[in-house]
Structure 1
C-alpha cells in the first residue's frame, strides 16, 4: 500500500481540533514532547538503585540528571532555529533518532561516566524534539483552535511526564533500572511513524533565510556547562569549581553580546521587549525550576528516608498522573475564555502549598496523611500552569517566530531545572553519601522543599504582574 504524506497546511486556514487530522497532529507531537518528560520523571525514581549499582553518590546522581538537562538547555534554542530553517518535521524526526540512540547507550552503560555521556546524547535529541513539537502545533492549527490545541498537547505530554514515577517503579522493580532507558526505543519508533504519516511539515518565516548562530550555541553550552559544574561541585570543588563557575559566567556574558550583534541570533533579544513574553519566561524559570527540584528530591526521600520501594514510590506519586490526565486538557479552554493570569497564579500558589506540606514527609511517613496531600496539590498546580505559560509565550510573538519562541521558553524552563538541581543539594547541605544517610537526607529535604516553595511563590507574583494583558491575544 502506498503511504500518503499530507501536504503542509496553510496557517491562515489551518486544522481544527474537531477534525481527525488535527487530533492526530496533537497526538504525534505531544508523544514526542512527552517522551522527553517521561525520561526525566522515570529516571528520578530509578536514581537510588542506579547509584547503588554503579557505586556513585550525590554528585553522580546530579550529573546523571544534569547531563541531559545541560545538553537540552544549551542546544534547545539552536534546535528551534534548525527547525525554522530546515523544516520542523525533519528536525523533529532527527531528534527522535538521537534520543533513541542515547537511550540505547544508556541502557548498556557499564559505569557512571558512560551513563552521563549517554544522557548528554539524549539531551541533544531532546533539544531538537521539544521546540519543534509546539511549533508544529502553532503552524498547523487555525488561530481560533490554537489555545485548545496547546491545552490538549500540554495535557497529553504532561500525562506522559506524570506517568513516569509509576512506570519507573514498575520497570525498576520488575526488570532493573537499565530498562528505564530501553523502553524509550519502541516508543520513539511509534512516534516517528505517526509524525511521518500525520504531521504536516511547517517551515519558518524570515528565520529560514538567516545564517545559523553556531557561535551562540557554543557560548550557551560553555556558559551553562561551567555554571553547572561549579554549582554541582561547589561543596568540595575548591578553586576548580570556582574557575568553572567563572568560565560559565563569562560564557553567558559573551553569549548575550554575540546575540545582540548577530545578524540572525539564536536568541532574538528584542522578543524580551514584549512584557508578556518576558514575564512568561521569568515565571517559567521559577516554576519549572521548583518542579525540577521538588521531584529530584521527593523520590529519594520516599525511598531512602521513608523506606518505600521503587514500585511503592511510583504508586505514591500516581495521583499526579490522574489529576493531570483529568485537568490538563481542560486548561486550554479555560485559558481561551479567561486568559492565563488567574489560572497561572492559582496553580503556582497551589504548588507552593504542596511543597510546604512536603516537609512533613519523614521516616515511616503515613501515605494518606503526609504524602497524598502533597502529590494531589502538585498535580493540581502543575495542571494549571503548563498551558497558560505556553499560550502566553506563543501569543506574544508573530506566527513565523513560533519555533524560536517555543525554543526560548523551553530553554528557560530547562535551564531553571538544570541550575536548581545543581544548587539545591549544596544549599540544603546534602552530603555525598546522602543516598546511604537517611538522617542527613531528611534534614536537607526539608530545606529543599522550603526553597522550592519560595520559587513557586515568586512565580505566582511574576505571573500576576506580567500576564494580565494577554487575555485578548490568548482568545
Structure 2
C-alpha cells in the first residue's frame, strides 16, 4: 500500500495545493493507527476469531481505500487514510496467524515463505504499477486499483479460510486502555515532529504536543506495567539486554529505510523531473535484491553469527546512504549515482532481515516470543512513522525549489547513514550470540 502512495505524493500535493505537513500526513495518517494498533489487531483475532477479524479489517481497509480515491478535501483524505491504517492493523497480524494455524510442520514453512514472497513481489511491483497508473490517469486511480484486488482477497478468504482463535484459558485480556494511550502518545508525538520544522522548538503548539506525548507515554508505561503479561506491550520482554538492542537496531534501521522509501521517489519527481513511472521503476531493484539475497544471507548468518550479520548489514546500509549523500548538482544520473547506493542498501538489509527474526526469538524467554515478535513488527512501523514526521526538514514547504530540495535530501542521506551506524553499534554492544550447551 505505502509503496504505491509514495510515488503519488507529488501529484497529491499539487492537486490539494498543500504544504510539507500535508504531504507528511498523507503518509502518517495511515502509519499512525497501523503502528499503534497492530498489536491489538492480533489480540482481537485471538479473542474473536482470526478469520472474522481479517475479513473485518479487509472490509474497513477496502471501504477506506475507495473513500481515498473519491476524497475531495484533505480532511476526508486524512480520515480515510486513518481508517485504512485501522483496517491494516487488523489485517497484518491475522493474515500470518491464519497461515500459521492452517499449516503444520514443513508445510507451514512453505506457506509462510509463499506469504513472504508474495509480499516481496507486491512491494517490488506496486511502485512501478502505481507510477504507470498515475501517469496514465491520475493519483486517485492508485487507490482505486487496490479495491478490486482487496475484494478478490476477501472472496478467497470467505471461501477457503476456516475460523480459528486461541482457547479462552490461554489468551490474555484485551488491553484497550493501553491501546488508547499508545495511540495518543504516537499521535501527539507525530503532530509535534511535523510542526517542528515550520514552527520551531519554542512554539507553544509544538511544546504542548510534545508535553502531551510525554505525559501520555508515562501513563501508557504505568498501564502496561500494571497489566504485566496481559499488556499490549509486555515490559518484561525488555528485561533482556539483547531484545532491547534488537528494538533499538530495528528503530534506527527502519527509520532510515522508511525515510528513504518516502523521500527518494519524491525527490526524483520534484527535483530530477522523473515521471511517476520512472520513479516507481527506480525503486524496483531494492525489493528485488532483498528478495533474491535474504535466504542465502540468512543462511550465512547461521554460520558467522546473528549479531555479526546484523552489524555487517547495518554498516553496508550506512555505506549506501553515504553514497546517496554524495549527490551533487541537479542532473542526477540514476545508473551511476542512485542505483549503486540503492543496491548497496538492499544488500545490507538482506544481511539483516532473516537474522532479526532469529535474534528476536533467541533474545527472550519462550513465554515472550510471540509478544516480542509483535513488538519488533510494531517498532519497524513506528520507525517509519517518526522518520516521515521528520521529513519536513527536507520538504519544508510546498514552494521549496528543486535547487534547494536535492541538497536537503543529501543531508537526509547522511542522517540515514548515522542512524544505520547507531543500529550497528546497538547490535555490536547489546546483541550476543545465544549460549548452546554441548
Q: TM-score, normalised by structure 1?
A: 0.83
Query: How far is 1:100 from its partner?
Result: 1.2
Indicate which of 438, 445, 466 corresponds to 2:402.
438
1:50 and 2:12 matched: yes
Q: In 2, are the aligned partners of 1:80 and 1:403 still within 8 Å (CA)?
A: no
1:349 and 2:311 matched: no
**Residues 156-171 of structure 1: pairs in structure 2 closer than 5 A:** 156-171=118-133
1:191 and 2:191 matched: no
Corresponding residue of 2:341: 374
**Residues 65-76 of structure 1: pairs in structure 2 closer than 5 A:** 65-76=27-38
Query: How far is 1:222 from its partner?
Result: 0.7
Q: In 2, are the aligned partners of 1:339 and 1:471 still within 8 Å (CA)?
A: no
Query: Could you say if the C-alpha distance between residues 247 and 124 of structure 1 is closer, same or farther in structure 2, counting changes exceeding 3 Å?
Result: same
Corresponding residue of 2:259: 293
Query: Could you say if the C-alpha distance between residues 163 and 344 of structure 1 is closer, same or farther in structure 2, counting changes exceeding 3 Å?
Result: farther
**Residues 237-276 of structure 1: pairs in structure 2 closer than 5 A:** 237=199, 238-262=203-227, 264-276=230-242
Q: In 2, are the aligned partners of 1:80 and 1:131 still within 8 Å (CA)?
A: yes
Any unmatched runs of 5+ in structure 2? none
Q: In 1, are the aligned partners of 2:301 and 2:351 still within 8 Å (CA)?
A: no
Q: Name the CA distance, whole Å, in 2 between partners of 1:425 and 1:284.
A: 22
Query: Could you say if the C-alpha distance between residues 370 and 229 of structure 1 is closer, same or farther in structure 2, counting changes exceeding 3 Å?
Result: same
Q: What per-residue deviation string (whole Å, max 9, x for no partner) do you get for residues 309-349 of structure 1?
A: 11111122222243133223545555566653333333222
1:447 and 2:411 matched: yes
Query: Could you say if the C-alpha distance between residues 81 and 455 of structure 1 is closer, same or farther in structure 2, counting changes exceeding 3 Å?
Result: same
Q: Which deviates more, 96-105 or 208-217?
A: 208-217
Q: Name the CA distance, whole Å, in 1 between partners of 2:197 and 2:373.
A: 35
Q: In 2, are the aligned partners of 1:335 and 1:388 still within 8 Å (CA)?
A: yes
Q: In 1, are the aligned partners of 2:45 and 2:51 still within 8 Å (CA)?
A: yes
1:91 and 2:56 matched: no
Query: How far is 1:189 from its partner?
Result: 2.5
Q: In 2, are the aligned partners of 1:283 and 1:462 still within 8 Å (CA)?
A: yes
Query: How far is 1:138 from its partner?
Result: 4.9
**Residues 202-281 of structure 1: pairs in structure 2 closer than 5 A:** 202-204=164-166, 209-237=171-199, 238-262=203-227, 264-281=230-247
Query: Could you say if the C-alpha distance between residues 339 and 472 of structure 1 is closer, same or farther in structure 2, counting changes exceeding 3 Å?
Result: farther
Query: Could you say if the C-alpha distance between residues 244 and 105 of structure 1 is closer, same or farther in structure 2, counting changes exceeding 3 Å?
Result: same
Query: Could you say if the C-alpha distance between residues 301 and 438 of structure 1 is closer, same or farther in structure 2, counting changes exceeding 3 Å?
Result: same
Q: Name the CA distance, whole Å, in 2 between partners of 1:377 and 1:318.
A: 14
Q: What per-residue deviation string (whole Å, max 9, x for no partner) do you get for residues 292-321 of structure 1?
A: 111221111111111111111112222224
Corresponding residue of 1:62: 24
In structure 1, the residue corresponding to 2:173 is in which secondary structure?
coil
Q: What per-residue deviation string (whole Å, max 9, x for no partner) do you get for residues 271-310 of structure 1?
A: 2223443332221111111111112211111111111111
Query: How far is 1:195 from its partner?
Result: 4.0
Q: Name the CA distance, whole Å, in 1 between partners of 2:158 and 2:422.
A: 41
The alignment of Structure 1 onto Structure 2 pairs a total of residues equal to 432
Indicate which of 383, 391, 415 corresponds to 1:416.
383
Q: Name the CA distance, whole Å, in 2 between partners of 1:188 and 1:470.
A: 42
Aligned-residue Cα RMSD (Å) equals 2.8
Query: Could you say if the C-alpha distance between residues 97 and 154 of structure 1 is closer, same or farther in structure 2, counting changes exceeding 3 Å?
Result: same
Q: Name the CA distance, whole Å, in 2 between partners of 1:108 and 1:257.
A: 42
Any unmatched runs of 5+ in structure 1? 1-38
Query: How far is 1:160 from its partner?
Result: 2.1
1:405 and 2:367 matched: no
In structure 2, the residue corresponding to 1:469 is in which secondary structure?
coil
Query: How far is 1:145 from its partner?
Result: 7.8
Q: In 2, are the aligned partners of 1:425 and 1:444 still within 8 Å (CA)?
A: no
Indicate which of 96, 116, 119 corresponds to 2:78.
116
Q: In 2, are the aligned partners of 1:131 and 1:406 still within 8 Å (CA)?
A: no
Q: Name the CA distance, whole Å, in 2 between partners of 1:203 and 1:330.
A: 34
Corresponding residue of 2:141: 179
